[in-house]
Amino acid sequence: MIGMINDMTVGKVVLKTKNHKKLAAFYHEIIGLQILAQESAKTILGVGDTALLELLEVADGVIPKQAKTGLYHTAFLLPTRAELGSFLQHLLESEYPLDGAGDHIFSEALYFRDPEGNGIEVYADRPMNEWERDENGDLPMATNPVDGDGLLMAGAELDWSSAPAGTTVGHIHLQITDLEATREFYHHLLGFAIKTEIPSALFFASGDYHHHIGSNVWAGRNLSPLEANETGLAYYTLITADLAGVTQHLQEKAIPFEQQNGAILLTDPNGIAVQITN
């Protein structure tokens, strides 16, 4: 494990889209993100002055007709269970369809998709001292039913109007094609800890969090990367307080990267682009 990874968090997710203004309206009205900037082919959304999502309109954009590597879901982390309950009430009132929900012991989560099919999770963490761990300190995989009534009761006193201050992209979950190459890249080369492992998925974390990056092969092990005009994940960002240390580590490990506008650009073994910034 390399120590510098201990401070990494997910910054923003950047999506290619057919219509950035139409998709921005969804993330504003349903997810509650604020529109921070809008140009002819780009919208930036977030909370306060923090960008969490960037939408890039691509010429002649098409939604992929088959599974590709890239985004499984963007996971927006709310600060409290009460705010998750308030969001659930808002979602029910909007009549936007849910794909499902899961109590993962360390968190409670709601799952659905945006109008272009990009996966979304909105969740709240339980207090860390309530997380169940195995003898190695890792987190067993669990997906139990969510107490929907309890969530709604927890948020009954709140009136959802927008994503609250403190909302972040708590983690990103990737759809990949090669588990072992993904393990090598994120764990052995970049130094993320593996917090949960099952035969078809790996969950990586910086520090003691349950996961910052999820990865799975549930759509198959022979997926291709997105074409230039296909909608979906363009790249995602990781934030570090030690960009110089990361640069030095990549050079020592002979990991190919580029530098652009003060950021490090990498491509993982599944063809997924990652930007590391501070």
Q: Which residues of 30-42 are buried (b: 16+ CB within 10 A; e: fewer)?
A: bbbbbebeeeeeb
Best CA proximity match to 113, nearest among 151, 74, 152, 78: 74
Q: pTM above 0.85? A: yes
Q: Any bridge partners for residue 111, and if so which?
A: 100, 121
pLDDT per residue of the chain (278 residues) written in tens, 0 to 9: 344 455 899 999 999 999 999 999 999 999 999 999 999 999 999 999 999 999 999 999 999 999 999 999 999 999 999 999 999 999 999 999 999 999 999 999 999 999 999 999 999 999 999 888 888 878 887 889 999 999 999 999 999 999 999 999 999 999 999 999 999 999 999 989 999 999 999 999 998 899 999 999 999 999 999 999 999 999 999 999 989 989 998 999 899 999 999 999 999 999 999 999 99
Q: Any bridge partners for residue 205, and if so which?
A: 193
Is there a contact between 257 and 250 (Cβ–Cβ < 8 Å)? Answer: yes
Domains of the chain, earliest start first: 3-277 (3.10.180.10)
Best CA proximity match to 77, nearest among 218, 231, 257, 209: 209
Half-sphere exposure of 32 (CA within 13 A, CB side): 24
Reading the block at residue 29, the tokens are 């009205």
Helices (DSSP H) in the chain: which residue ranges? Answer: 20-26, 81-94, 148-154, 179-183, 243-252
Q: Residue 153: what residue type?
A: M
Q: Residue 276: what residue type?
A: I
Half-sphere exposure of 258 (CA within 13 A, CB side): 8
CA dihedral 106, 74, 213, 233 (to 10 degrees): 170
